Amino acid sequence: MIQNKYRLNQYIAKSGITSRRKADLLIESGKIKVNGIVINELGTKVSLDDTIEYDGKKIKIEKYRYLILNKPKNYITTLKDEKNRKTVLDLINKACSERLFPVGRLDKNTTGVLLFTNDGDLSQRLIHPRNKIRKVYHVILDKKISSQHYNIIQKGFLLEDGEIKVDEVHLVKNAQNKELLVTLHSGRNRIVRRIFEFFGYKVVKLDRIEFAGISKKKVIRGTWRFLSQKEIGFLKMK
């Protein structure tokens, strides 16, 4: 029987650990063993009969899984927490036997769309700044936003770490100018909160309602669902 051969970085990516690009770094740094031998050559090919180890643990090719979580407040986006706080993995740990990882992150107090997958290549594409992945947030402020500040945010302005320009910003109707819908592609840390804090507003509630075209519609807060084949195909076109 002829065994399928995989490039080592492809095998690592298909195990759900990371993307192929980052797998190359693991190989070069001597963290990968094949049949008990450290392998540094990027072009190495392996089969399913081979034993592949990362940091002393055996890894294997997994079926790719993709799901969306409607993240609640007070959960942190991390794999482990030394302070034993609640993590988003606690909410999806019974979803499947494969190890899933969050695509990007949401702050502890930010709610809404958070994708999970073990497809390292897709995850890397979705979080890379050059791909300009669209995100939509529902923002609730502690007070009415002035028309002056609203116009400045529409046009773009300078933060301490560079210029920021949102793709779209709209006031929510009948919300006394305290609620907005903000669309942007920037992945900078806490960027939505920082936009409004810059002008003296406190973000009372921040909810990501869409990420990369995937919305939280019909996903109750704190629950998850697997993506449809149509949604998966849509993400892979990004």
Tens of each residue's pLDDT in the chain, 238 residues? 445 789 999 999 888 888 899 999 999 999 999 999 999 999 999 998 999 999 889 999 989 999 999 999 999 998 888 888 999 999 999 999 998 999 999 999 999 999 999 998 899 999 998 999 999 999 999 999 999 999 999 999 999 999 999 999 999 999 999 999 999 999 888 999 999 999 999 999 999 999 999 999 999 999 999 999 999 999 999 8
138 and 157 share one domain = yes
Same domain, 143 and 119: no
CATH number of the structural domain spanning residue 230 = 3.30.70.580
Does one domain contain both 196 and 138? yes
- Shared-domain flag, residues 120 and 108: yes
Same domain? For 225 and 161 the reply is no
Q: Cα 107 to the chain's mean position, in Å?
A: 12
Give pLDDT, residue 171: 97
Residues 226 and 122 in one domain: yes
User: Which own/partner pairs from 80-88 qualify as long-range (CB within 8 Å, at least 24 positions apart)?
Assistant: 88/114, 88/116
Our answer to whether residue 107 is catalytic in this structure is yes
Mapping DSSP onto H, E and C, the string for the chain reads CCCCEEEHHHHHHHCCCCCHHHHHHHHHCCCEEECCEECCCCCCEEECCCCEEECCEEECCCCCCEEEEEECCCCECCCCCCCCCCECHHHHCCCCCCCCEECCCCCCCEEEEEEEECCHHHHHHHHCHHHCCCEEEEEEECCCCCHHHHHHHHHCEEECCEEECCCEEEECCCCCCCEEEEEECCCCCCHHHHHHHCCCCCEEEEEEEEECCEECCCCCCCCEEECCHHHHHHHHCC
Q: How many domains does the chain have?
A: 3
Q: Same domain, yes or no, for 87 and 32?
A: no
Whether 111 and 223 share a structural domain: yes
Q: Which is catalytic among the residues 24, 81, 90, 107?
A: 107
| Structure tokens that stand for 166 in this block | 């949102």
Q: If 0-12 CB within 10 Å is exposed, 13-18 middle and 19+ buried, where does residue 103 land? A: buried
Which of 13, 34, 59 marks a domain boundary? 59
The domain containing residue 55 runs over which residues? 5-59
Please tell me whether residues 39 and 12 are part of one structural domain: yes
Question: pLDDT value at position 26?
Answer: 95
Please report the pLDDT score of residue 3 as a whole number. Answer: 56
Compute φ and ψ for 104, nearest 5 degrees: 75, -155
